[in-house]
Structure 1
Amino acid sequence: MIVLRPATHADEQLVADIILASMLASYARFLPAHRFQRILDMDRPGQVARTDAARFTVAEANGTPAGILLLKGDYVDHLWVRPEFMGQGVGSALLAHAEERAAKDGFDRLTLDCFEKNKKALAFYRSKGFRVTLTRDAAEYMPGENTCSLVKSLSAA
């Protein structure tokens, strides 16, 4: 059973650990080693956790923290699932929660960005009704890699 709960400041390390584990399972498959190492060197998981830990939603599968979501308005800023829970509905539960919250807050769409080379994530988002609206260089974060902007209309939901 998947249960969602708000994160707290005490979840800072948990947030960082889930981001790192998910990055290792996904980004390491498609990013060149030197680009992936740059993310690790920047301590990107730790930076995000220190800044936003208490703003996340945590998904627990049978009592075990399995994934996290950070929604900012209509934008899914972060959605990460521990590798051992991928394909078990955790990401789907978090994304459905994001859709519900965005709609409740008056938004008619949900948006997110995803690396173009992250084929598994792109397929997941497309299966949930998202469509790519723009592909661009991720110059601000990972120069030389393309990011896709995706959108899903919530008006029919």
Structure 2
Amino acid sequence: MTDHREVAITRWPGRTPPVEDGLAALLAPYHLRTEVEKGQQVASVDGLPDRYRAEITDPRTAFAGDVVLVALLGDSAAGCLVLTSPANGPSEIKRLWTDPEFRGRGIASALLGAALAHAKENGVDTVRLSVWEWRTGAIALYERLGFTVTESWDAREQLVCMQRAA
């Protein structure tokens, strides 16, 4: 695993357009792969459900009010994470993705660490997430970082819900 110091985490909104472009470039393969894993054959972004396509085409609107973290290695967007901040409830981690070219370098861990630090700095008590049960590597990472399986808040089958203190 690579030292996290080479991974720069940028908070968005408030960053330059290239971060937004990098975010879209990360979200497209994330959503396409997820749909394939769910058994849906989607050939391109145009075939994604509207809400996922909107995240890619207009992330500023899709994630208005959320904190978006983008991991940069040099000038390359290597990973992303969205942290929601509902008014009355726990923050939720969404869209954690590392470009396959950059995996194994501690990017997901760095993004999660930054998200947890942000939540704590902002008075959030609990951070939760949901993950497809077949993403065993991600589940193992979350467990290493202190997340535990909890009662589901999402009715979709094969979804594992987890949480931890911020």
TM-score by length of 2: 0.73
Structure 2 vs 1, CA of residues 44 and 117 (structure 1 numbering), >3 Å: closer, same or farther? farther
Q: Report the AA paired with residue 137 of structure 1.
A: A
Residues 27 and 118 in structure 1, CA contact (< 8 A), matched pair in contact too: no
1:16 to 14, 24, 40: 24
Moved more, 50-59 or 75-84: 50-59
Q: Write the distance in 1 (CA, Å) between the matches of 2:63 and 2:115.
A: 16
Q: Does 1:76 align with 2:93?
A: yes
Instruction: In structure 1, give the amino acid aligned to 2:48.
Output: D
Task: Tell me the TM-score normalized by structure 1.
Answer: 0.76
Deviates more, 1:123-132 or 1:9-18: 9-18
Residues 2 and 59 in structure 1, CA contact (< 8 A), matched pair in contact too:
yes
Would the aligned equivalents of 2:147 and 2:164 in 1 still touch at CA under 8 Å? yes
Asked if the contact 2:125/2:165 (under 8 Å) is kept, the reply is yes
Aligned-pair identity in percent equals 25
Structure 2: tracts of 5 or more residues without a match = 1-5, 86-90
- Indicate the SS of the match to 2:151: strand
Q: Residue 9 of structure 1: CA displacement?
A: 7.1
1:137 has 2:155 as partner:
yes
CA distance in 1, matches of 2:137, 2:34: 8
RMSD between superposed Cα atoms in Å:
2.8
**Deviation, structure 1 residue 109:** 2.1
Contact 1:75–1:112 (8 Å) recurs in 2: yes
**Following superposition of structure 1 onto structure 2, how do residues 8-157 of structure 1 map, counting pairs within 5 Å?**
8=15, 10=17, 11-24=19-32, 28=36, 30-34=37-41, 40-42=47-49, 44-49=51-56, 50=58, 51-52=62-63, 55-73=67-85, 74-135=91-152, 137-138=155-156, 145-154=157-166
TM-fit CA distance, 1:148: 1.5
Per-residue deviation, 1:84: 1.2
Task: Specify every segment of 5 or more residues in structure 1 that has no aligned partner in the other structure, as ranges.
Answer: 139-144
Deviation of 1:43 (Å): 5.4
For residues 83-139 of structure 1, give each alpha carbon's deviation from its aligned partner in whole angstroms, at most 9, with x where no partner exists.
11122111101100011011111122211111122222212211211111024532x
Structure ranking higher in helix proportion: 1
Q: 2:24 corresponds to which letter in structure 1?
A: A
Determine the structure 1 residue equivalent to 2:88.
none
The count of aligned residue pairs is 146
